[in-house]
Amino acid sequence: MIQLSHPIKSTTVILLRDGTDGMEVFMVTRNAGIDFAGGALVYPGGKTNPEDLTPETAAYCDGNDDLDISEIGSRVCGIRETFEEAGFLLARERNTGMLINRERCLSIGAAYRDPIRRGKASMKDLASNEHLTLACDLLVPFAHWITPSISPKRYDTWFYLAKAPEGQLGSHDNSETVASLWINPDQALAGAENKIYNIVFATRMNLRKLGKSDNVKLAMNLAQANKVITVEPEVINENNNITFRIPQEAGYDMEQETETVGPAVAFYASG
Protein backbone atom coordinates (compact mmCIF):
# COMPACT_ATOMS: atom_id res chain seq x y z
CA MET A 1 0.00 0.00 0.00
CA ILE A 2 1.34 3.43 -0.96
CA GLN A 3 1.77 5.81 1.93
CA LEU A 4 1.88 9.56 1.44
CA SER A 5 4.55 11.14 3.59
CA HIS A 6 2.93 14.57 3.32
CA PRO A 7 -0.84 14.60 3.92
CA ILE A 8 -2.81 16.96 1.71
CA LYS A 9 -3.76 20.21 3.43
CA SER A 10 -7.53 20.63 3.59
CA THR A 11 -10.27 22.48 5.43
CA THR A 12 -13.75 21.59 6.61
CA VAL A 13 -16.39 24.07 7.81
CA ILE A 14 -19.10 23.05 10.25
CA LEU A 15 -21.96 25.48 9.63
CA LEU A 16 -24.31 25.89 12.58
CA ARG A 17 -27.73 27.35 13.29
CA ASP A 18 -30.22 27.22 16.16
CA GLY A 19 -33.24 25.15 15.14
CA THR A 20 -36.50 24.15 16.79
CA ASP A 21 -34.93 20.94 18.13
CA GLY A 22 -31.73 22.62 19.29
CA MET A 23 -28.53 23.35 17.44
CA GLU A 24 -28.27 22.03 13.88
CA VAL A 25 -25.37 21.44 11.51
CA PHE A 26 -25.45 21.66 7.71
CA MET A 27 -24.28 18.43 6.09
CA VAL A 28 -23.98 17.20 2.52
CA THR A 29 -23.94 13.74 0.95
CA ARG A 30 -20.91 13.09 -1.23
CA ASN A 31 -21.41 11.71 -4.72
CA ALA A 32 -21.17 7.91 -4.54
CA GLY A 33 -18.84 7.96 -7.57
CA ILE A 34 -16.10 9.84 -5.69
CA ASP A 35 -13.25 7.49 -4.85
CA PHE A 36 -12.81 8.64 -1.27
CA ALA A 37 -15.78 8.40 1.12
CA GLY A 38 -18.27 8.33 -1.73
CA GLY A 39 -21.85 8.38 -0.44
CA ALA A 40 -20.86 9.59 3.03
CA LEU A 41 -22.69 12.32 4.92
CA VAL A 42 -20.05 14.99 5.62
CA TYR A 43 -19.46 18.66 6.34
CA PRO A 44 -18.50 20.85 3.35
CA GLY A 45 -14.77 20.82 2.78
CA GLY A 46 -11.84 19.94 0.57
CA LYS A 47 -8.18 20.44 -0.19
CA THR A 48 -6.42 23.79 -0.17
CA ASN A 49 -5.62 25.35 -3.55
CA PRO A 50 -2.50 27.45 -4.26
CA GLU A 51 -4.76 30.44 -4.99
CA ASP A 52 -6.04 30.30 -1.40
CA LEU A 53 -2.54 30.91 -0.04
CA THR A 54 -1.44 34.14 -1.69
CA PRO A 55 -0.91 37.63 -0.22
CA GLU A 56 -3.19 38.97 -2.95
CA THR A 57 -6.04 36.80 -1.66
CA ALA A 58 -5.22 37.65 1.97
CA ALA A 59 -5.71 41.34 1.13
CA TYR A 60 -9.42 40.61 0.67
CA CYS A 61 -9.82 38.86 4.04
CA ASP A 62 -11.24 40.14 7.32
CA GLY A 63 -9.65 39.08 10.60
CA ASN A 64 -6.22 38.09 9.30
CA ASP A 65 -4.03 40.42 11.37
CA ASP A 66 -2.71 37.70 13.72
CA LEU A 67 -2.61 34.87 11.16
CA ASP A 68 0.19 33.68 8.90
CA ILE A 69 -0.42 32.98 5.23
CA SER A 70 -1.02 29.27 5.88
CA GLU A 71 -3.71 29.99 8.47
CA ILE A 72 -5.34 32.57 6.20
CA GLY A 73 -5.24 30.13 3.30
CA SER A 74 -6.86 27.43 5.40
CA ARG A 75 -9.78 29.76 6.15
CA VAL A 76 -10.05 30.92 2.54
CA CYS A 77 -10.18 27.26 1.51
CA GLY A 78 -13.01 26.71 3.99
CA ILE A 79 -14.98 29.68 2.65
CA ARG A 80 -14.41 28.52 -0.93
CA GLU A 81 -15.41 24.91 -0.28
CA THR A 82 -18.49 26.01 1.65
CA PHE A 83 -19.49 28.19 -1.30
CA GLU A 84 -18.79 25.45 -3.87
CA GLU A 85 -20.35 22.50 -2.08
CA ALA A 86 -23.03 24.09 0.08
CA GLY A 87 -23.95 27.42 -1.51
CA PHE A 88 -23.24 29.57 1.56
CA LEU A 89 -20.90 32.54 1.15
CA LEU A 90 -19.14 33.88 4.25
CA ALA A 91 -18.42 37.35 2.91
CA ARG A 92 -19.20 41.01 3.59
CA GLU A 93 -20.08 43.93 1.39
CA ARG A 94 -16.95 46.04 1.38
CA ASN A 95 -18.78 49.37 1.47
CA THR A 96 -21.04 48.50 4.42
CA GLY A 97 -19.27 45.70 6.28
CA MET A 98 -22.53 43.74 6.33
CA LEU A 99 -22.70 40.02 5.58
CA ILE A 100 -24.21 39.44 2.16
CA ASN A 101 -27.93 38.65 2.15
CA ARG A 102 -29.88 35.83 0.52
CA GLU A 103 -30.48 37.55 -2.82
CA ARG A 104 -26.87 38.62 -3.17
CA CYS A 105 -25.65 35.14 -2.29
CA LEU A 106 -27.90 33.55 -4.90
CA SER A 107 -26.82 36.05 -7.56
CA ILE A 108 -23.12 35.54 -6.83
CA GLY A 109 -23.63 31.79 -6.68
CA ALA A 110 -25.20 31.74 -10.14
CA ALA A 111 -22.25 33.66 -11.56
CA TYR A 112 -19.29 32.15 -9.68
CA ARG A 113 -20.10 28.86 -8.01
CA ASP A 114 -19.45 26.63 -11.02
CA PRO A 115 -16.41 28.57 -12.34
CA ILE A 116 -14.77 28.42 -8.91
CA ARG A 117 -15.54 24.71 -8.60
CA ARG A 118 -13.91 24.11 -12.00
CA GLY A 119 -10.86 26.26 -11.17
CA LYS A 120 -11.78 28.95 -13.70
CA ALA A 121 -12.01 31.65 -11.03
CA SER A 122 -10.60 32.19 -7.54
CA MET A 123 -11.99 33.63 -4.35
CA LYS A 124 -9.80 36.68 -4.93
CA ASP A 125 -11.50 37.17 -8.31
CA LEU A 126 -14.91 36.89 -6.69
CA ALA A 127 -14.08 39.29 -3.86
CA SER A 128 -12.46 41.84 -6.18
CA ASN A 129 -15.17 41.79 -8.85
CA GLU A 130 -18.06 41.83 -6.38
CA HIS A 131 -16.50 44.34 -3.93
CA LEU A 132 -16.51 41.91 -1.02
CA THR A 133 -14.26 40.89 1.85
CA LEU A 134 -13.98 37.25 2.88
CA ALA A 135 -15.16 36.78 6.48
CA CYS A 136 -12.25 34.69 7.76
CA ASP A 137 -12.88 36.08 11.24
CA LEU A 138 -16.16 34.12 11.45
CA LEU A 139 -14.33 30.77 11.34
CA VAL A 140 -13.41 29.43 14.78
CA PRO A 141 -10.89 26.55 14.98
CA PHE A 142 -12.64 23.45 16.32
CA ALA A 143 -10.53 20.39 15.52
CA HIS A 144 -7.44 19.22 13.64
CA TRP A 145 -7.33 15.69 12.24
CA ILE A 146 -4.72 13.86 10.18
CA THR A 147 -5.71 10.72 8.29
CA PRO A 148 -4.01 7.55 9.63
CA SER A 149 -0.79 6.61 7.86
CA ILE A 150 -2.23 3.32 6.54
CA SER A 151 -4.73 5.17 4.32
CA PRO A 152 -4.01 5.38 0.57
CA LYS A 153 -5.07 9.03 0.66
CA ARG A 154 -4.13 11.21 3.60
CA TYR A 155 -5.41 14.63 4.63
CA ASP A 156 -4.24 17.18 7.17
CA THR A 157 -7.54 18.86 7.94
CA TRP A 158 -8.58 21.82 10.05
CA PHE A 159 -12.23 21.87 11.11
CA TYR A 160 -13.78 25.28 11.76
CA LEU A 161 -17.12 26.29 13.25
CA ALA A 162 -19.11 29.11 11.67
CA LYS A 163 -22.61 30.40 12.24
CA ALA A 164 -24.58 30.21 9.00
CA PRO A 165 -25.29 33.73 7.63
CA GLU A 166 -28.84 34.81 8.41
CA GLY A 167 -31.14 34.36 5.41
CA GLN A 168 -28.78 32.39 3.20
CA LEU A 169 -30.34 29.08 2.19
CA GLY A 170 -27.53 26.78 1.11
CA SER A 171 -27.78 23.87 -1.32
CA HIS A 172 -25.68 20.97 -2.56
CA ASP A 173 -23.88 21.39 -5.88
CA ASN A 174 -25.25 18.27 -7.66
CA SER A 175 -21.69 17.37 -8.57
CA GLU A 176 -19.42 16.54 -5.65
CA THR A 177 -22.46 16.62 -3.36
CA VAL A 178 -25.86 15.17 -4.22
CA ALA A 179 -28.02 15.96 -1.16
CA SER A 180 -27.98 18.28 1.84
CA LEU A 181 -29.79 18.80 5.11
CA TRP A 182 -29.79 20.57 8.46
CA ILE A 183 -29.64 18.07 11.30
CA ASN A 184 -29.13 17.97 15.04
CA PRO A 185 -25.80 16.30 15.93
CA ASP A 186 -27.48 13.68 18.16
CA GLN A 187 -30.00 12.85 15.42
CA ALA A 188 -27.19 12.44 12.90
CA LEU A 189 -25.36 10.07 15.24
CA ALA A 190 -28.56 8.09 15.80
CA GLY A 191 -28.99 7.87 12.03
CA ALA A 192 -25.48 6.52 11.67
CA GLU A 193 -26.12 3.94 14.39
CA ASN A 194 -29.31 2.84 12.62
CA LYS A 195 -27.56 2.71 9.20
CA ILE A 196 -29.71 5.53 7.84
CA TYR A 197 -26.62 7.62 7.17
CA ASN A 198 -23.09 6.62 6.21
CA ILE A 199 -21.00 8.75 8.58
CA VAL A 200 -17.34 7.89 8.99
CA PHE A 201 -15.28 8.05 12.15
CA ALA A 202 -13.87 11.61 12.08
CA THR A 203 -17.26 13.07 11.19
CA ARG A 204 -18.99 11.11 13.95
CA MET A 205 -16.44 12.19 16.53
CA ASN A 206 -16.91 15.84 15.68
CA LEU A 207 -20.69 15.44 15.81
CA ARG A 208 -20.17 13.93 19.26
CA LYS A 209 -18.05 16.89 20.30
CA LEU A 210 -20.66 19.31 18.93
CA GLY A 211 -23.34 17.51 20.93
CA LYS A 212 -21.90 18.99 24.12
CA SER A 213 -23.51 22.32 23.15
CA ASP A 214 -27.22 23.09 23.10
CA ASN A 215 -26.90 26.22 20.97
CA VAL A 216 -24.59 27.98 18.55
CA LYS A 217 -23.34 30.57 21.01
CA LEU A 218 -22.21 27.91 23.48
CA ALA A 219 -20.55 25.85 20.76
CA MET A 220 -18.62 28.87 19.50
CA ASN A 221 -17.62 29.93 23.01
CA LEU A 222 -16.35 26.44 23.87
CA ALA A 223 -14.36 26.27 20.65
CA GLN A 224 -12.74 29.62 21.37
CA ALA A 225 -11.90 28.60 24.94
CA ASN A 226 -10.50 25.12 24.27
CA LYS A 227 -7.08 24.32 22.84
CA VAL A 228 -7.19 22.26 19.66
CA ILE A 229 -5.30 18.96 20.04
CA THR A 230 -4.18 17.31 16.80
CA VAL A 231 -5.72 13.86 16.26
CA GLU A 232 -3.99 11.26 14.11
CA PRO A 233 -5.80 8.05 15.02
CA GLU A 234 -3.97 4.83 15.64
CA VAL A 235 -5.66 2.06 13.66
CA ILE A 236 -5.71 -1.54 14.90
CA ASN A 237 -7.07 -4.28 12.63
CA GLU A 238 -7.95 -7.48 14.50
CA ASN A 239 -10.34 -10.26 13.43
CA ASN A 240 -11.86 -8.05 10.70
CA ASN A 241 -12.66 -5.36 13.28
CA ILE A 242 -11.14 -1.89 13.01
CA THR A 243 -10.34 0.01 16.20
CA PHE A 244 -9.49 3.72 16.11
CA ARG A 245 -7.58 5.12 19.08
CA ILE A 246 -7.37 8.88 19.67
CA PRO A 247 -5.88 11.07 22.43
CA GLN A 248 -8.11 11.44 25.47
CA GLU A 249 -7.04 15.08 25.80
CA ALA A 250 -8.48 15.92 22.36
CA GLY A 251 -11.88 16.50 23.98
CA TYR A 252 -14.01 13.68 22.57
CA ASP A 253 -14.63 11.97 25.93
CA MET A 254 -13.37 8.67 24.58
CA GLU A 255 -10.11 7.01 23.60
CA GLN A 256 -11.18 4.38 21.10
CA GLU A 257 -14.01 3.01 18.99
CA THR A 258 -14.30 -0.32 17.20
CA GLU A 259 -16.06 -0.77 13.86
CA THR A 260 -17.19 -4.23 12.83
CA VAL A 261 -17.66 -3.41 9.14
CA GLY A 262 -15.68 -1.49 6.54
CA PRO A 263 -11.94 -1.26 5.98
CA ALA A 264 -9.72 1.25 7.73
CA VAL A 265 -9.19 3.12 4.49
CA ALA A 266 -12.82 4.27 4.72
CA PHE A 267 -11.66 6.74 7.35
CA TYR A 268 -12.13 10.25 5.98
CA ALA A 269 -10.51 13.13 7.82
CA SER A 270 -11.66 16.05 5.69
CA GLY A 271 -15.40 15.57 6.15
CATH code for position 95: 3.90.79.10
**Does residue 49 lie within any of the structural domains?**
yes
> Along the 271 residues of the chain, how does pLDDT read in single tens digits?
444 458 999 999 999 999 988 999 999 997 654 555 557 899 999 999 999 999 999 999 999 889 999 999 999 999 999 999 999 999 999 999 999 999 999 999 999 999 999 999 999 999 999 999 999 999 999 999 999 888 888 899 999 999 999 999 888 877 777 788 999 999 999 999 998 999 989 999 999 999 999 999 999 999 999 999 999 999 888 877 888 999 999 999 988 888 765 444 444 333 4
**Does residue 172 lie within any of the structural domains?**
yes
Task: Give me the domain span that covers residue 125.
Answer: 8-266
**Does residue 271 lie within any of the structural domains?**
no
**Does residue 228 lie within any of the structural domains?**
yes
Q: Evaluate if pTM is beyond 0.85.
A: yes
**Does residue 2 lie within any of the structural domains?**
no
Q: Confirm if 180 and 86 have CB atoms less than 8 A apart.
A: yes
The tally of domains found in the chain comes to 1
Give the number of residues written for the chain: 271
**Does residue 53 lie within any of the structural domains?**
yes
